[in-house]
Amino acid sequence: MKKITLCMLLMILSLQLQAQITNGTYTEEIDERIKNLNKSTITSNILINRVFSFAKINDFNQGVQIDTSSYTHFTQAWDELYRASYIKNIIKENELDLILESRKYQANVVPIGIINTEFHEFNFGTKLANTNVTFNETTGLFANIAGKNPFIKRQTTIISPLVTRVTGNTIQFKTDHLFRLYKLGKQIKTLQLVTNGSIYNLISNYNFNTSTFSTIYSSSGIKTLRFNITYADNTTKTTYANVYVNMIATTLAKNSTNTSELLPIEADDDLAFKGYELGDQLEKGKNEYRIYYSDASKTIDKPLYIIDGYDPGDTRKIEREDDGHDVSKESILELMSYDHDKDSITPKKDMIKELNLLGYDIIVVNHTRDSIGSYTVNIPLYSLNFTRTIYRDAGSDYIERNAFTFISLMRHIKSIQQGNEEAVVIGPSMGGLISRYALAYMEKKLAETGDNAKWNHNTRLWVSFDSPHQGANIPIGLQKGIEYFADELDNKGGQKFIDDQLSRPATKQMLVNHYTNNSNLPVGAPNFRNRFQNDLDNLGMPQNLRKVALLNGSMSGVLNGISEAQYLQINTRIPIFGSSSPIIQNKFYHNTNKKNGSQNYLTFNAGGFYLNFLFFKIYIIAQSKKYSTPSSKGSYDIAPGGYFNAQSELANEAQGSSFFTIFGWNYWRTLTTTAYVLDPTHSFIPTKSALAYTGSDVLDEVIGNKDRHCTGETPFDNYFAPEQNEPHITLTTENVAWLKAELDVDNTDKPLPIVYDTKMTGNISAVPGQNLTYSVTDIGENTTYDWFFDVDGYTGTNIGGWRIISNNGNKIVAKAGSPGLAVVVCKITSTNMCSSSVKYTYVNVSPSSDGDGDGQSTCNDALRFSSNPMRSNNSLNKVYIDSDPCNGNFALEKTYKPEKTYYNISIHNVYGEIVYSKNKRV
């Protein structure tokens, strides 16, 4: 057992149970416990036990196993050494980042960082018989034993790339003395980098080699770098580090012949925006876009815009090949593709290409990261001054500023457009809010000024694609867990995630429950969430166009989880305790779906564990528990809606790798980690939010049983929702077909909103005279249910032996008629729907109990018709089909009007419902 075992066990203990005595940070607690110890023997100035070492500096490269570093691990280690030092003669980790940023390396350059220094750790002994300290059970403090040193000196060497990924075909490696942390201990005499079959000398005879070393990898992926070290005493060590290399693809862009380059757009002077923070100034936004023309003329005559959603850091580019794209993510074009055959092996269909074939010129907008200023940075320890660039991250910037930039793009496109065809705007996710704000703002300004050139958006259709019109959700348990690691344990990755993600303007505008709210109820970020929602609601929806919503959430009340259930547990066994290594359990729970009461419910419980050693019971880390109180709306975590898999991503990163990343922070491989995903997803965009629903605020209410446009409970003219919840921003064969029908400007018979839960239930096989029950869902008051039968093309309530025995509105009992195929029909008319709805089911009546043995009709096809006469050059230009039982009309109707070169094709089912309609100008 390692000597460190007892020291950590005794760190925060009592004979029965020793709680924290400072109520401060981890470092403050340790300092208080050891304040009476003589620290003169800590000649390195660094006592690593003063910090909770996520980097596990006391074990790293100590000969136990092959240890591999990375940029995140390296910077975590640097930060821990800084915080563990008594005299701050080491630059801070954020200063290291600033120096690295000041070098302005190209995307293909890998700077190498080197930590090589002594440190001290506890040496309290391994058993009571040889302890090197005494412990006062009353005060909870340690004291020296004469002649014994409670500290031991060690040395660590950690070498790593100072980037997580590089992009290029030729990768360059550089060293810089500013990226070295060395105070005391054995110096490095020689250092070799071994990668891709080549050896490069980074340090020779104690001196840095300032040359640049280059290599060409054969493929993209994680590259493991080996470092061979020779110290001043001629001892050697080998260590490793990882970096991701992204090769630049040599293939051309999709449809590259008819594709523009990436083009910049900056907001016009009259469209600057001032943020919500004190001191914010009016500033103009910037973005970029690419045009996918419909033909080789490369002119825009039929514009269709697609606006990207939330993308902090601009790591999701329009195309995978674009510089700066994170290869672990789908590009915007890939997000706009769909699985058309439920087969993961076959390629997805490219919706943008399909829209090109329909004549649309597609303008795809990406949110960029651009410089907006600079300031001077001073690092006194290095006597270093340099200018730092300030960047604006449009992918997480204020929604209003991005909206104003989009208005400027629309103005520009209108100025170069051939003709005056009205545009289509598709806004996925946050892009739906950006486009909503832009279009509504333009209408407002047009009404005020009458300036058509500036403010007429000339748009006929706006598609909101699973957009959070009433807010988005990331489980508060996850947010509080990140906050706990960042604030209470000083984890740099957690702090970075908070800075780069949770604290961004767009995040604070959209999240309905934000970790900063200091409330057990779902409350957004102060001065952001309510302000934005109020401004958005006051501006209203755009009116001078058709507006439709494509949802990924169910309208049938289908939940995304179980109320109060634990959805994730990450167990981490810390190796520094030898065979008695404890397990730290981090548990995450869904918010309660109870809608009344005041009892608090657990959402996050992190880090606490007890450990028995001899007769001591020790509490190593203080637990952190966060709670929620029932809301009248129910649980955002499990509400029906487009879902995201934050907990699954966290767990996947946590298992089976040398380093696992939890929202940006990395753990060293000797941490034995097991993740248990009990529920893989959470609600991200609640269905009612995507629908901008104005009825009841209960999130899990069944709302798919009525046409909510007709009831006035959604401002959208039409919408599409799946029966089951889907991943956020998912295209399917069904919703793409719906979208294309909406895009068809000549189609006057737009598809009505699908009303689920009104499907007919009942027998599909019977024998003559059998009593059968059929029903449809009761969709409310002011509704009539007209039941009848269709037998051999004849309809009625008593026909072919079929008759209604009892009728209770949405439910009947019928007696089956003569053998053959019959149809039970219910025509529903209600003020809850824009038009009547017909529900029906086929029933095969067999002459005996089993008829032909399978109880199924041998001719169940509803429609049968000849091959397309246009394609087969049939001069008669006819389609043959059985006559329709409804009023003698034909099931397929085709009209030819040569004077207008205009075709109309309509396909009806056997009850007169239009199942397909197409108007085509030729």
What pTM was computed for the model? Answer: 0.77
Measured CA to CA, the distance from residue 254 to residue 248 in angstroms comes to 15
Relative to beta strand 303-307, strand 361-366 is parallel
Q: Considering just the CA atoms, what is the radius of gyration of the chain in Å?
A: 34
Instruction: Please count the other Cβ atoms lying within 10 Å of the Cβ belonging to residue 628.
Output: 28
Using an 8 Å Cβ cutoff, are 193 and 204 in contact? no
Over the stretch 22-34, which tens digit does the pLDDT of each residue have? 567 778 888 888 8
Which residue from 570, 608, 604, 606 is spatially nearest to 590, judged by alpha carbons? 604
CA 736 – CA 743 distance, rounded (Å):
10
* CA–CA dist 833, 406 (Å, integer): 36
Q: What is the mean pLDDT of the chain?
A: 82
Please report where in the chains the tokens 């005299």 appear, as a residue: 87
Q: Give 147's contacts (C-beta < 8 A, 6+ positions apart).
A: none
Can you list the alpha helix ranges (DSSP code H) found in 450-578? 452-455, 476-483, 492-497, 505-510, 529-539
Amino acid 912: pLDDT: 52
Supply the pLDDT for residue 758: 61
Distance of alpha carbon 734 from alpha carbon 351, whole angstroms: 13
Q: Is it the case that residue 466 has pLDDT exceeding 80? A: yes
Q: Mean pLDDT over residues 117-131, rounded?
A: 82
Answer whether 811's CB lies under 8 Å from 731's CB: no
The confidence score (pLDDT) of residue 155 equals 92
Residue 484 near residue 607 (C-beta atoms within 8 A) = yes
| Mean predicted confidence (pLDDT) in 714-731 | 95
Q: Any bridge partners for residue 837, and if so which?
A: 828
Q: For residue 610, is it left (φ>0), alpha (ψ between -120 and 50) or beta?
A: beta
Contact 757, 810 (CB under 8 A): no
Which helix (H) or strand (E) element contains residue 690?
Answer: helix 687-690
Q: Which two tokens stand for residue 6?
A: 């007892």
Q: Write out pLDDT tens, residues 150-174.
A: 999 999 999 999 998 888 889 999 9
Q: Are the C-beta atoms of 369 and 392 separated by less than 8 Å?
A: yes
Cα 823 to Cα 843: distance, rounded to the nearest angstrom: 6
Element (H, E) at 819: none
Checking if the pLDDT of 247 tops 50, the result is yes
Helix locations, 837-892, DSSP H: none
Residues pairing with 393 in the sheet: 369
> What whole-number distance in Å separates Cα of residue 828 and Cα of residue 841?
14
Mean pLDDT computed over 486-490:
73
What pLDDT shows up at residue 472? 97
Asked whether residue 853 carries a pLDDT value surpassing 90, the answer given is: no
Pairing mode of beta strands 221-231, 188-195: antiparallel
Q: What is the pLDDT of residue 575?
A: 44
Q: What are the structure tokens assigned to 183, written together?
A: 């105070």
Q: What is the pLDDT of residues 529-578, one digit of tens each?
A: 999 999 999 999 999 999 999 999 999 999 999 999 998 887 765 544 33
Residue 809 exposure: Cα atoms within 13 Å on the Cβ side: 11
Looking at residue 645, its pLDDT comes to 81
Q: From residue 288, give the alpha-carbon distance in Å to each of 140, 249, 311, 331.
A: 61, 21, 14, 14
Give the pLDDT confidence of 768-827 residue by residue, as tens digits: 999 999 998 887 777 889 999 999 888 999 999 999 999 999 999 999 999 999 999 998
Tell me the backbone φ, ψ of residue 102, rounded to 5 degrees: -65, -25
DSSP 758: -
Q: What are phi and psi of 139, to 5 degrees?
A: -90, -20
pLDDT at 223 over 60: yes
Which pLDDT value is given to residue 574?
52
Give me the percent of the chain exceeding a pLDDT of 70: 80
What CA–CA distance (Å, rounded) separates 823 from 790?
A: 5
CA distance readout (Å), 523 to 516, 526, 538? 9, 8, 20
Determine phi and psi for 572, rounding to 5 degrees: -125, 120
Average pLDDT over residues 880-909: 44
Element (H or E) spanning 30, and its range? Answer: helix 26-33
Give percent of the chain above pLDDT 90: 52
Structure confidence by residue, pLDDT tens digits, 311-322: 999 999 999 888
d(CA 275, CA 177): 40
Cβ neighbours of 341 (radius 10 Å): 11
Nearest to 606 by CA among 651, 637, 570: 570
Average pLDDT over residues 632-655: 79
Give Cα separations from 494 to 45, 92, 309, 499 (angstroms). 27, 17, 23, 9
Cα torsion angle, 135, 141, 146, 151, sign? positive
DSSP state for residue 499 in the 8-state scheme: I
Strand partners, 193: 200, 227
CA distance 790 to 804: 13
Is 639 within 8 Å of 477 (Cβ atoms)?
A: no
| Tokens 């005041």 -> residue | 598
What is the rounded distance in angstroms from the CA atom of residue 128 to the CA atom of residue 122? 15
Q: What pLDDT is stored for residue 572 in this prediction?
A: 64
Query: What is the structure's pLDDT at 484?
Result: 79
CA distance 385 to 374: 13
Q: Is the pLDDT of residue 674 over 80?
A: no
Asked if the model's pLDDT at residue 683 lies above 70, the reply is: yes
| Rounded-to-integer distance, Cα 843 and Cα 887, Å | 22
Helix (H) or strand (E) holding 84: helix 71-84
**Is pLDDT of 326 > 50?**
yes
